[in-house]
Amino acid sequence: MRTFLLLCVLPLALAAGDDWQSAGVVNVTHSPYAKLHAVPIRAVTMGDGFWSARRAINVDQSIPTMLAELEQHGVVDNFLRLEGKKNVARRGPLYTDSDVYKWMEAVAFVLQSGDQPKLRAEFDRLTGIILAAQEPSGYLNTYWSEDRTARRFTEMTRSHELYCMGHLLQAAIAYYRATGDRKLLDGGIRFANYMVENFGPQKRPALTGHPEFEMALVELYRTTGDRRYLDFAGYLLSGVERERLHLKDSEVQYMFSGKPFTSRTEFEGHAVRAMYASCGATDYYMETGDAAYAKTLQTLWGDLVDRKMYITGGVGSREAGEAFGEPYELPNAQAYGESCAAIGNMMWNWRMLLAMGESRFADVMERALYNGINSGMSLSGTLYCYRNPLESSGEKIRNEWYDTTCCPPNLERILASLPGYMYNTGARGLYVNLFHSSTIDWHLEDGTGVRVAQQTEYPWKGAVDFTVDPAHAAEFSLFVRIPAWSAGTSVEVKVPAPFAARQEAPKPGEYFEIHRRWSPGDKVHIEFPMTPRLVRANPLVREDAGRVALERGPLVYCLEGPDQPGFNLMDASLLDDGSSFVSAFQPDLLGGVVVLKHRGSVVDRPFNKEPLYRAFKERVERPGTVEELTFIPYYAWANRGQSSMEVWVPYNTVGGE
């Protein structure tokens, strides 16, 4: 008998502790099926650079102005009126509660990087207002109250009741991890208990018409240890209530909910719902190890990256229904690409990275973050894109407010939580997912203290320097993500004395493992190639036929009107004449960007002066004039007023035809 061995099975990573200060963006410390583990936001101090500039504006401009907008549009009054403190009509769509919760989550993530008494006071003030509107049962929603009370949970395909509470729970958990204060968390738990006690297979049927509650419930399970929340997430993902709720096929398709998650083979319907459902399903998998979930998640991931994702990491190409299109249906000017959907894509790939430990998921995170998410907020931090098209003739795309203002606080919470996405730990060492000057001060999973300083001017420059400082000399691995685009990356490990350098040729698209006995002060130098890259799309993406996109490092580039005076973008094409791109950092342009220049040709007679159709055999001589095309990073477009823009640019081969 060897049953004594069972006694040795202790919970994972006891050294990490279970206190509120040790949890990351998600707490998978004890998740049995997570290959990698998150580090706390507070363990990572960001140095100067690309994201620090954005994050400072987020705290100084975006977050304060967004609260003012929310107040001005009655979102906070919606709670006060229920408490009899404001005699005003309820304002806004039925999901406005979630917007203030998401704003609060952004604040809570800011507070995880360091106290900000003013923001903390605002959070506490809002907590008081919100909880005063909560009913003794635990129910809380400003829309489904008063004369709509009788209709609660009777219109779950559209009611957003669980969606709103999912966002409240996420804000409450983030604040608990920032301060240890569980006042809002206890309010969220009252609602969650109301759900698990009154709904379920032998009780009333429940459904997330807009998925979101699933991932919040799994996080609540991780935070409290109460298994009922995990089981309820599993119940929602199982879609067993389709018959009791009389769901139509079209609803099940659109909501990405209401049938077994594990029966899905492709992305369809509303993109944000599909991304959030996939986040919840990945969280559920990390706790249960259910192989059917792993298989479905891998299948869906392939569907997304091979057929339905924009080069910017944006997803959901159709405006109608804010939905996924058919495979390869990726229009440029008509692209929807909601900011929230790109954020959902990053959140999902972050969870897939934790679950599977593979670099390809971090590659998608980086693509979405630098491009399709980053474009969503203006450089000023106060204007937002809801849609993120890849081509424009100059419509107004950035606004300070939307009646459905889901995207602005979502962008704010991503920027605020960014330090938590940069590094992970695994059984064999420390993982570097993203590149930015920063210092992580944390410990390996065996408890060895380790401090790693990262110095870089990424994404503008490809050099990244690490200084590794374990508390004492220790054997472990440093895993550095080598982005899929970075063929020709060099890695050099420098050991101070006696000096010895080791050159390696790492593989793009994988983590490069540097295993050794590290001593305090050991250094690693990496050079990512920052040569501009022309990319073509699969020919089945009809809109991109005959066109190329330009990338440099993690950034997708575009042509924008203000940089090409004297001609219309639509008349220009890139001249494929064998010449190379000229790169130049322009500190005064768009907050400081590397611009890329290349020869292009512009037709003599603008296309809008040509007839709509002409005979195929009618040869049109169109030598055009050679002009210099100037490309800027896509995320920075529409920051100089309304202007035309193009990511996929036609190209002309000299001497062709």
Binding stretches for Zn ion (CB under 5 A): 338, 340, 406-407
Least distance (Å) from Zn ion to the CB of residue 73? 16
Distance CA 211, CA 525 (A): 43
Least distance (Å) from Zn ion to the CB of residue 384? 9
Q: What CA dihedral angle connects 529, 530, 534 and 537, to 10 degrees? A: 80
Q: What CA dihedral angle connects 62, 66, 69 and 71, to 10 degrees? A: -140
Q: What CA dihedral angle connects 364, 368, 369 and 373, to 10 degrees? A: -160
Distance CA 627, CA 370 (A): 29
Of 377 and 590, the one with the shorter C-beta distance to Zn ion is 377
Least distance (Å) from Zn ion to the CB of residue 206? 24
Least distance (Å) from Zn ion to the CB of residue 310? 16
Least distance (Å) from Zn ion to the CB of residue 101? 14
Measured N-to-C along each axis, helices 227-238 and 183-198 cross at an angle, to the nearest 10 degrees, of 50
Least distance (Å) from Zn ion to the CB of residue 410? 6
CA 257 vs. chain centroid, Å, equals: 21
Least distance (Å) from Zn ion to the CB of residue 111? 24
Of 373 and 474, the one with the shorter C-beta distance to Zn ion is 373
Of 195 and 411, the one with the shorter C-beta distance to Zn ion is 411
Which residue's CB comes closest to Zn ion?
Answer: 340
Least distance (Å) from Zn ion to the CB of residue 386? 6
Of 341 and 418, the one with the shorter C-beta distance to Zn ion is 341
CA within 13 Å, CB half, 331: 13
Of 294 and 373, the one with the shorter C-beta distance to Zn ion is 373
Q: What are phi and psi of 501, to 5 degrees?
A: -115, 145
Of 94 and 452, the one with the shorter C-beta distance to Zn ion is 94
Name beta bridge partners: 502. 493
Q: 613 is written with which tokens?
A: 């159709």
State which amino acid sits at residue 303: D
SS3 (DSSP) at 558: strand
Cβ(41)–Cβ(24) below 8 Å:
yes
Of 273 and 351, the one with the shorter C-beta distance to Zn ion is 273
CA within 13 Å, CB half, 225: 4
Helices (H) and strands (E) in the chain, counts: 16, 24
Least distance (Å) from Zn ion to the CB of residue 339? 5
Of 373 and 526, the one with the shorter C-beta distance to Zn ion is 373
Q: Is the peptide bond before 498 cis (omega within 30 degrees of 0)?
A: yes
Q: 69 is written with which tokens?
A: 């907008």
Least distance (Å) from Zn ion to the CB of residue 406? 3
End-to-end alpha carbon distance in the chain: 80
Of 43 and 406, the one with the shorter C-beta distance to Zn ion is 406
Pick from 401, 418, 506: nearest CA to 73: 401
> How many of the other CB atoms lie within 10 Å of CB of 538?
12
Cβ(508)–Cβ(446) below 8 Å:
no
Of 315 and 407, the one with the shorter C-beta distance to Zn ion is 407
SS3 (DSSP) at 31: coil
